Amino acid sequence: MTNNNQTIGYLPDERPPIWKLFLYAIQQVIVMFPATVAVAIITGFHISTTIFASGLATICFLLITGRKIPLYYGSSFSYVAAISGLMASEALTGYSLNDKIAVAQFGIIMSGFVSILAGFIVNRFGRDSIEKILPATITGPIAMIIGLTLAGTALQDAVAIPLDSMGNISVAESQIQTAQNLAWIISLVTLLSTILFSVYLKGFWSQIPLILGPALGCLTALIINWTTGIDFFKVLPLDANTGIFALPIFTLPKPTWMAVAAIMPIAIATIPESTAHIYQLDIYVNDLAKKKNSKKKYNISDLLGLNLIGDGIGDIVSGFVGGPAGTNYGENISAMAITKVFSVPVLMAAAVLAMIVACFTPLVNAIYSIPTAVIGGLEIYLFGAIAAQGIAIMIEKKVDMFSSKNIAVIATIMVIGLGGQYGFGGNIPFFGIEVPCVAGAAIFGIILNLLMNIGNKKK
């Protein structure tokens, strides 16, 4: 673990002692937990299944990539709008929750093939090939509309009032306005504390603002319950498991083109994010190797194609068992960069721990009961961060905002995506079919960009 100048850390192919490995694994689980669970809560997927799927998909990713890429696979917020919109659509009205999840699963599985195809393209034609089809002028605005189409959901959740086990308002009519005001207090405490924690905390604590902020929001909700009698904590469904241990609820995918159209195109927005993570890892790992005087060169950036293939297979595995679509987690990379623990065995252990936690019913039920107002406060920050990431992609790639071609692509993607959400509720009527707004914006942007590049090739 150390060399003559006492550099501490673990490279991808190194394994810490068992007790340290266990502690490092717990930390990785804690870091991935808030975002992964939040996706499950927002989309309506089973929490235990989502956690289990993240662990199983991580193990598959690590094995498929030859245990050379230290990454953790978790649920991605990029897919939230598409999955939520599909499950709330009129076409699925009357479906049970499990049937809705089963329909979404097929779209999630198919989205994995987009990443796999991108991986094969990179392996065959090189890293730059993917940017010819998906330049920052497309991936940037797509990331922006993914976040911004969720803005309404975030604010609705932020002001949500308590419901009973049947989904009815649990406060008297005279208390509704008071409950809404108190919900704002809870959501604002969650939002502001999460922001402050992420900005001002240092070290390990700076990596868990998504735990600390909601914890403070839950504490606020508890104090409000004590002082006003209004309980914002969600009531468990009547059929909820109250035992100690229970297997997650697994569902089988139901093939439907509606799910493919709604979810599959979202995969293109996660490709640049996954790519950036690989480049980050390459820098961090080789810096540690240099400081440890290791003679081994870790060419992680050269494994971009393999990473995308592994990411896609992670989606397929998660989709088959009933989990949301995902990607490799920047939060876990940050934790590894701070602790200098890039050990693949640690991530393997973290994945196994996540699968065990998913079977621990009291913890899963406690997470489910988190007030919707707390989730809403968190969503305002997280969904806005997704949109901001789209801007960051374009800045990093130095997109020329004075180019008429770039403006045309960005403008049409933004208006189709946002206009489809707020003008038609997420599905755009187009020649007799309903086109999901994000998918429609992505497809139009890709076609428009390719058409306008024809002239450039001739030049």
The per-residue b/e assignment along 363-378, b for 16 or more CB within 10 angstroms, e otherwise, is ebbebbebbbbbbbbb
Q: Which pLDDT belongs to residue 22?
A: 87
Confidence of residue 408 (pLDDT cuts 50, 70, 90): very high
Q: What is the DSSP string of 265-316?
A: GGHHHHHHHHHHHHHHHHHHHHHHHHHTT------GGGGHHHHHHHHHHHHH
**What H or E segment, with its residue span, contains residue 77?**
none
DSSP-assigned letter for residue 133 = H
- Residue 11 inside a domain? The answer is no
Q: Which of 144-148, 215-219, 393-397 has the highest mean pLDDT?
A: 215-219
Give the model confidence (pLDDT) of 142-178 as tens digits: 888 878 888 888 899 899 988 776 667 777 888 889 9
Q: Helix (H, G, I), strand (E, B), or coil: what is residue 75?
A: strand
Mean pLDDT within 268-295: 81
- Residue 420 inside a domain? The answer is yes
- Residue 23 inside a domain? The answer is yes
Q: Cα separation of 38 and 405, whole Å?
A: 38
- pTM confidence score: 0.72
- Residue 308 inside a domain? The answer is yes
The per-residue b/e assignment along 161-193, b for 16 or more CB within 10 angstroms, e otherwise, is bbeeeeeeebbeeebeeebeebbebbbbbbbeb
Confidence of residue 324 (pLDDT cuts 50, 70, 90): very high
- Residue 3 inside a domain? The answer is no
- Residue 302 inside a domain? The answer is yes
- Residue 202 inside a domain? The answer is yes
- Residue 12 inside a domain? The answer is no
Instruction: Tell me the residue range of the domain where 379 lies.
Output: 18-458
Indicate the number of domains in the chain.
Answer: 1
